[in-house]
Amino acid sequence: MKSEKIINLLKDIGIDAVGSFIFAIGVNIFTTPNNIAPGGVTGIATMLHSITGAQMGTLTFLLNIPLVILGLIVLGKRFTINTFRTLFILSVITNITEAFFPVYVNNVLVAAIFGGAAIGVGMGIIFLRGSTTGGTDILGRVLLKYFQHIPLGKILLAIDFVIVTVAAVYYGTLEAALYALVSVYVTERAMDGVLYGFNETRIAYVVTEHPIEVAQRVMDETDRGVTYLNGEGGYQRDKKLVIMCAMPSRQFSKFKKIVLEVDHAAFIMVAPASNVIGEGFKETFDSN
């Protein structure tokens, strides 16, 4: 059991390193040299970098410290430890690679697109192992504890909008905000593409011997509701509780990790879903 934990830890570190390297490409080559503040803590660090000249990795790490402490208080030890590990690796690799990467400053729009894509791919790879890069994701989850009627996606979007607006004021041009918005959008799409194609919502069904424990952890750690469905095994005719859960595609890797931690033999079925209506999703059907 101990050796298995060590192997899993090494896998987590390796995935974090790969994702961080790709993330650093987006930041060091494309967004930072072009003063593109791509939302979140990275956007704040970009503005501070232009003022102080400090390395992006160092600034990102320092800005995340109070958020990590807040996460420890509100979200718990498990979430915070994984986040801190990933954040440390991300910051170190971003700093180390800064001196070796060339910079692209020929076309700001191209930089916003490719920078956003690299950042999104890097974050998506990190999310595949159920970790997170911290930043506004922590703040969003903390706010969700107190404003549960507001979807997490809208909270994060509002935070990014504020940061992009501040960047536009700081750089003194509307174009700075527009390029930042392009970068944020591409980041989101690239991240979703790495995780589960470009379908934004997933619906999962889980057959497990421990449905209550799985459901409770899913609700506690992803802030997603679950529904129990009455099922019956076709072979042994035994009664089962089947878990059904709808979630944004980026959360599925975390969902899967939770399920398999509780029951490594669980049976998981996942499919893309559209026009999901209700709290945390669309409020009405699309008019078209």
Residue 174 lies in a domain: yes
Q: Are residues 17 and 150 in the same domain?
A: yes
Residue 191 lies in a domain: yes
AA identity, residue 274:
S
Dump pLDDT digits (tens) for 191-211. Answer: 877 865 554 688 999 999 999
Q: What does the pLDDT read at residue 62? A: 94
Q: Given pLDDT bands bounded at 50, 70 and 90, which one contains residue 149?
A: low
- CA-based radius of gyration for the chain: 20
Q: Given pLDDT bands bounded at 50, 70 and 90, which one contains residue 288?
A: very low
Closest CA to 253 of 198, 194, 199: 194
Q: What does the pLDDT read at residue 287? A: 37
Q: What does the pLDDT read at residue 249? A: 74
Q: Are residues 17 and 134 in the same domain?
A: yes
Residue 279 lies in a domain: no
Task: Give the CATH number of the domain where residue 268 resides.
Answer: 3.30.70.120
Q: Given pLDDT bands bounded at 50, 70 and 90, which one contains residue 284?
A: very low
Report the C-alpha dihedral over residues 73, 192, 45, 86, rounded to 10 degrees: 50
For 149, the domain range is 2-196
pTM of the model: 0.69
Across the chain, what does the average pLDDT equal? Answer: 85
Question: How many structural domains does the chain have?
Answer: 2
Q: What does the pLDDT read at residue 140? A: 74
Dump pLDDT digits (tens) for 58-93. Answer: 999 999 999 888 888 887 787 788 888 999 999 999
Q: Are residues 38 and 68 in the same domain?
A: yes
AA identity, residue 44:
I
